[in-house]
Amino acid sequence: MNSLRVHELAGRVLGNVERVMVGKRAAIEAILVAMFGGGHVLVEDVPGVGKTTLVRAMAISVGCEFRRIQFTPDLLPSDVVGISLFHQPSGEFRFQPGPIMGQIVLADEINRTSPKTQSSLLEAMEEGQVTVDGHSYPLPRPFLLLATQNPVEYEGIFPLPEAQLDRFLLRIRLGYPRPGEEGEVLSRLEQDHPLHALEAVAGPADVLWAQAEVKKVFFHHDLRAYLVRIVERTRNHADVFLGASPRGSIALFRCARALAAIRGRHFVLPDDVKSLAGPVLAHRLLMRAEAELRGVTAEGVVEGLLREIPVPPGGDHGPD
């Protein structure tokens, strides 16, 4: 595989997005991991930290069609996937596509809408298509859903069910900027918003090419066993009621390969697995009530497992 070309592509996109976003390199890289790994991202944070701006900057940078869906309590599934309307001149029903028919789709404040509407995204996320009135319609490729949600302690929300959370390749948080970074944000916004001057540095074909290249990244069998041990231990942890499913193993496998390619390698290192274990696995864990009362978090459980489970020896874990 041409890992250096993937690294160069990722660097161009990351640098372009950083013209708009200040101090969010880790979050931008995580979205690139999901994009090149063929998955979706849940961005969880308080309002006003730049979630929407980040997604728009990413869509512009890779030249993909951007769609935004504002989730509200009265939003219906048909408002998301589309509807069949009767066309009187032809005497037949025609499909009117919904806003999900984009390449990079922002599902803004996804936990503000009902579980029924949330579930309308499941088929799109898992199968890359939507079904309306018995007919299936493929989504454009590449397809990346970035959903934002406010923390669960805020009022007027519908927590995402486990089945919905499990469809997200990873979950990230942006966090508040540091004082120096916030000052830089103000300086950049002194005139026009930098987003207005942003231009594409790649195209949809580049993203599809990178997705194909990621599948060629070598993953040593010892590291695969290490990854499986991490996921398996979430299922019998004393503080966890429901551990990560095999979908979690697959997600961590895909993300580790994508991160290796983004960093210019054709093989996965243990650090690739360790750095992504939290964002990939934590949102898939259902904690026991008594553990939550003690302040135990899913992120803390994953971090503890990474400290406990020994990293397999084997040099650089490249091909033998």
Q: Are residues 196 and 58 in the same domain?
A: yes
Q: Are residues 204 and 121 in the same domain?
A: yes
* CATH for 237: 1.10.8.80
Q: Give the tokens for residue 88.
A: 């009187």
CA distance 200 to 13: 8
Give alpha helix (H) positions in the chain: 3-17, 25-37, 51-61, 77-81, 115-118, 122-127, 162-165, 179-188, 204-214, 221-235, 246-262, 270-281, 289-293, 298-308
**Closest C-alpha to 107, from 146, 154, 155, 79:** 146
**Closest C-alpha to 241, from 292, 207, 206:** 292
Output the CA torsion sign for 127, 133, 134, 140: negative
Contact 80, 117 (CB under 8 A): yes
Q: Give the tokens for residue 208.
A: 């599809």
The pLDDT, as a whole number, for residue 179 is: 81
Contact 36, 76 (CB under 8 A): no
Q: Are residues 120 and 234 in the same domain?
A: no
CA distance 143 to 40: 9
Q: What is the pLDDT along the chain (320 residues), one digit of tens a residue?
A: 566 699 999 999 999 998 988 888 999 999 999 999 999 999 988 777 788 889 999 999 999 999 999 988 888 889 898 888 877 787 777 888 889 999 999 999 888 888 888 888 888 898 989 988 888 889 999 999 999 887 765 666 777 878 888 899 999 988 888 888 778 888 877 777 878 888 999 999 999 999 999 999 999 999 999 999 999 999 999 999 999 999 999 999 999 999 999 999 999 999 999 999 999 999 999 999 998 999 999 999 999 999 999 998 865 666 66
Residues 6+ apart with CB under 8 A from 190: none
* CATH for 111: 3.40.50.300
- pTM comes to 0.89
Evaluate whether residue 149 is within a structural domain: yes
CA distance 297 to 278: 11
Q: Are residues 124 and 146 in the same domain?
A: yes
Helix (H, G, I), strand (E, B) or coil at 63: coil
Residues 6+ apart with CB under 8 A from 6: 36, 210, 213, 214, 261, 262, 264
CA distance 10 to 227: 25
Q: Are residues 135 and 255 in the same domain?
A: no
Q: Are residues 205 and 229 in the same domain?
A: no
The pLDDT, as a whole number, for residue 73 is: 87
The pLDDT, as a whole number, for residue 195 is: 83
The pLDDT, as a whole number, for residue 200 is: 93
Helix (H, G, I), strand (E, B) or coil at 242: strand
How many distinct structural domains can be found in the chain?
2
Query: Which of 211, 235, 260 marks a domain boundary?
Result: 211
Q: Which residue range is the domain that position 192 belongs to?
A: 3-211
Q: Are residues 201 and 285 in the same domain?
A: no
Query: Which of 173, 193, 211 marks a domain boundary?
Result: 211
Query: Which of 211, 242, 261 marks a domain boundary?
Result: 211
Helix (H, G, I), strand (E, B) or coil at 94: strand
The pLDDT, as a whole number, for residue 317 is: 66
Q: What is Dmax (Cα atoms) for the chain?
A: 70
Evaluate whether residue 317 is within a structural domain: no
Evaluate whether residue 315 is within a structural domain: no
